[in-house]
């Protein structure tokens, strides 16, 4: 993982405000990285960045937006994780509200564990992650406990 990370940002509806607060409070740390988000969340983040850092966003091209989570965005993110296209997952998920795409959410979180990528699920864990010395440095992800399974011969 290079010093410039590919950071996935996702939030359920009841958590979008908290994720936007996190992004706003960490603009300096986040703006140097490539941001990838599911649909609605990505639009909200892009609007925030355009308001706070318009010149930087014009240079960078904004947030790369996938589909909305319930329309397949969580699965798109999962595919990116499996292909090595995501370095960090920040997913503010709502444990109190049933989600119509709950199986997709579980699959996404499963892949983040399987491929051993840093994952934050709330404000505190996201701030700890951004505050890590590895956040802006090269870092080698160690193989997860499942590497034997992934490398098995059939």
* H-type alpha helices, 1-154: 16-25, 27-30, 39-52, 54-60, 73-82, 102-114, 123-130, 147-150
> Quick check: is 13 catalytic?
no
Residue 154 burial (CB count, 10 A): 2
Catalytic residue among 3, 13, 74, 94: 74
Rounded Cα gap, residues 132 and 56, in angstroms? 24
Active site residues: 74
């Amino acid at each position: 993982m290079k010093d410039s990370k590919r950071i996935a940002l996702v939030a359920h509806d009841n958590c979008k405000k908290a994720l936007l607060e996190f992004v706003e409070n960490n603009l300096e740390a986040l703006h140097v990285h490539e941001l990838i988000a599911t649909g609605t969340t990505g639009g909200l983040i892009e609007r925030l960045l355009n308001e706070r850092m318009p010149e930087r966003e014009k240079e960078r091209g904004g947030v790369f937006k996938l589909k909305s989570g319930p329309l397949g965005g969580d699965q798109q993110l999962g595919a990116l994780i499996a292909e090595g296209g995501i370095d960090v997952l920040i997913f503010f998920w709502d444990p109190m509200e049933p989600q119509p795409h709950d199986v997709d959410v579980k699959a996404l979180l499963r892949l983040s564990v399987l491929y051993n990528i840093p994952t934050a699920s709330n404000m505190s864990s996201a701030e700890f992650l951004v505050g890590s010395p590895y956040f802006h440095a090269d870092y080698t992800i160690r193989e997860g406990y499942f590497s034997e399974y992934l490398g098995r011969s059939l």
